[in-house]
Structure 1
C-alpha cells in the first residue's frame, strides 16, 4: 500500500485530475465520469481489446475518478467561495454551486489539484488496507474529502441547525430565510467572511434550510425514484453483465440537470448498489464462475444464491430504495444546514455497498461482486 500511496506518476496525474475537475466544475467533471463509464463498459461488452482501461484508468482513475476530479472540484468551489471569487446569484451558499466552472485561476486550480491528490490517497487506503475495506473506496474518498475540505477551509462540519430538528425540511417549504446577521457567522466563519465581504453580502436572504435537491427530498418521492432506479439498475447490470453501466447512465443524465432542466432526478447512488446486489444473487449458472475468483469468494450455501431474474430485480429494487433513503438522511444532516457541498450520493454508495458486504458476511449473498472484501 505504501508503494502505491507514494507512486509519483499517480500523484502527479491525480493533481492534474483534481485541477481539471476544478476548472470544469465538480458536476460537469462527474458527468464526464458517466460518459467514460458508458464508453468503457460498452467497449468491454462488445469485446474491444483493452476496453477495461477506459473504465479503470480514465473513468475511475486520475482523470475522472469522483474522489479526484469531482472532490477536487467541490473543494475548489468551497475555496473560491471563501475567497469571494464566485458571485452568481446562486440560491444557496456559493460554495455549494458545483455546476459552476471555476476556470483558470492558478490558486483555485492548485486547491483542486491538492484535493485530487488527497482523494487518490483516501481511495488507495480504503482499497488496500487489510486487503480492501468492504465498501466502494472511491465513494468513501469523496465523502472523506468533503469532510477535510470543510475542516481545512474553516467551514462548519454540520452548520447551524434551524427548524424543529436536524431532519426538518419544513422551513424550506415555508420559504423561511436566514437573518442577514447569520451571513457573517454561519459555520463559525466570521473572520474568513470579513476577508470576502462581497461573497458574504451575496448570501443575504439564503433559505433557512437548503435541501440538496429541491425537487427530490420528500421521503416518499425519494423512495419511489429509488425503487424505479433500483429496478432498472438491476436489469441493466444483469442484461449486460456490467455492474457499472447503469451507474454511468445515471451519471450522464445529470448533463440535463447541469443545463438547468428542472425535475431531473439524481440516481447514480441508487443504480450502483442495486446493480451490485442484483448481480450478487442472480443465477449465472449456479457456479459463480462469471466472477473473478481473485476478487470474491463464492458461497454456494448462501441464502439468496443463484436466484431467478425476478428475484434479482426485486433485490435491486430494495437496494435502490435503501440507498436513496440513506442519501436523503445524509443530506439532511450534513448538507442542508452547511455551507459547502458534501455529496449525499457518495455517502449512499458507501452505505449501499457496505450492506452488500454485510449480506455476504451473514451468508445471505453468495459474493460481493466487485466490492472489496477482507
Structure 2
C-alpha cells in the first residue's frame, strides 16, 4: 500500500512541481499540529503532512528527481523546481516522479524502522531528509553530465561563488545574512517547540510555517528559505530544553545549507536540496551532542 500511494504522491509532486508540492506539505503539517493541539492526535500529521503521499520525501523529493529527468530530455531546467511538469505534456516525466516516489517509501522505511538508533526518543538522523538527499544524488548520477559535485567554472571557487555562478539563494549566502536569518528563524521555531512541547507537535510547527511561507518564493519574492533552520532548531530546543541551544543550531543549520549548496548544487545542473542535507546532517550532530551529555554539561537558558 505504501509503495502504491508513494507512486501516486511522486507523480502528483512532479505534475505540480517540486516547490509547490513542498508548500502544500508545509500547509498540511500546520493543519496536523493544530489538530494535535486540539487533542485529535498525531494521525493527520504523520500520515498526511509527513506521510507516504504528501510527505516531503514522497512528493517533493520524487519531484526533484523528475525535474532532473526532464533536464536530461532537454524539456526543462533541472534546477528550476518551481516549474509544474504537467505542462510539458510528457507522461514519462510524471512516471519517473512516481518511480522515485516508490523509492522514497523504501528509503523512509529503512531509515525509520530498520536503522532505529535513538537517543532520548530521537532518531539518530532525519529519515525523510536523508531519503530526499539520496534520491537526488541518484537522479544526479543518472540524469546529469556535471558529475556528483558539479563543475566549478574557470576563475570561480567552489566555496566562494560569485554572481557569475548559478547561486542557490543570492540574498541568503554571506555570513551576516545567514547569522541573522538563522538566529531569527531558530529563535521563533525553538520558542514554538518549547511552548507546545513534543507531544503536541511543537517540533514541526516552525517547519510547517517555514515550508508554507515559500508560496511567496514560488511567485517571485526574495523570501528566506528557513525550513531547515526551523526543524533543526526546534529539535535542539526540545532535546536540550533550551531556547539558546535551539537558536545556535538554527544558525548552524543556515551555514550548513550554504555549505552543501556550494558542495552539490551551485555548480551543477540538477538540484540536490541544500536544506535536506542540512537537516539530516545537523540533526545527527544534535543527537550526538545529546548522547554525549553536552546539553547537561553546558546548560543554556
Q: Mark yes or no: TM-score above 0.5.
A: yes
Q: Tell me how far apart the structure 2 counterparts of residues 142 and 350 of structure 1 sit (CA, whole Å).
A: 10
- The runs of at least 4 aligned residues of structure 1 exceeding 3 Å deviation read none
Give yes or no for the alignment of 1:214 onto 2:170: yes
Structure 2 equivalent of residue 183 of structure 1: none
Q: Tell me how far apart the structure 2 counterparts of residues 138 and 215 of structure 1 sit (CA, whole Å).
A: 27
Q: Tell me how far apart the structure 2 counterparts of residues 363 and 42 of structure 1 sit (CA, whole Å).
A: 33
SS of equivalent to 2:168 = coil
Give yes or no for the alignment of 1:337 onto 2:267: yes
Structure 2 equivalent of residue 121 of structure 1: 106
Contact 2:144/2:269 (8 A) holds in 1:
no
Give yes or no for the alignment of 1:148 onto 2:107: no
Structure 1 equivalent of residue 120 of structure 2: none
Structure 2 equivalent of residue 275 of structure 1: 234
1:313–1:39 Cα change, 3 Å: same
Structure 2 equivalent of residue 99 of structure 1: 82
State the TM-score, normalized to the length of structure 2: 0.90
Aligned partner (choices 162, 165, 172) of residue 157 of structure 2: 165
State the TM-score, normalized to the length of structure 1: 0.73
The Cα offsets for residues 347-372 of structure 1, whole Å up to 9 and x where unpaired, read as 11112211121112201247xxxxxx
Contact 1:356/1:365 (8 A) holds in 2:
no
The Cα offsets for residues 241-291 of structure 1, whole Å up to 9 and x where unpaired, read as 211011000000000000112x21000000111111111222xxxxxxxxx
Structure 2 equivalent of residue 304 of structure 1: none
Q: Tell me how far apart the structure 1 counterparts of residues 27 and 184 of structure 2 sit (CA, whole Å).
A: 22
Give the number of the structure whose alpha-carbon radius of gyration is greater.
1
Which residues of structure 1 form unaligned runs of 5+? 1-8, 87-93, 177-208, 283-311, 367-374
Give yes or no for the alignment of 1:324 onto 2:254: yes
Q: Tell me how far apart the structure 1 counterparts of residues 135 and 286 of structure 2 sit (CA, whole Å).
A: 23
Query: How many Å apart are 1:164 and its aligned residue?
Result: 4.3
Q: Tell me how far apart the structure 2 counterparts of residues 365 and 19 of structure 1 sit (CA, whole Å).
A: 43
Q: Tell me how far apart the structure 2 counterparts of residues 22 and 142 of structure 1 sit (CA, whole Å).
A: 14
**TM alignment of 1:38-117, pairs within 5 A:** 38-48=30-40, 51-86=41-76, 94-103=77-86, 105-117=90-102
Aligned pair count reads 283
Contact 2:30/2:208 (8 A) holds in 1:
yes
Structure 2 equivalent of residue 21 of structure 1: 13
Give yes or no for the alignment of 1:252 onto 2:220: no
Q: Tell me how far apart the structure 1 counterparts of residues 143 and 161 of structure 2 sit (CA, whole Å).
A: 27
Q: Tell me how far apart the structure 2 counterparts of residues 361 and 279 of structure 1 sit (CA, whole Å).
A: 14
Query: How many Å apart are 1:154 and its aligned residue?
Result: 3.7
Give the superposed CA RMSD. Answer: 1.4
Q: Tell me how far apart the structure 2 counterparts of residues 117 and 154 of structure 1 sit (CA, whole Å).
A: 21
Q: Tell me how far apart the structure 1 counterparts of residues 189 and 214 of structure 2 sit (CA, whole Å).
A: 16
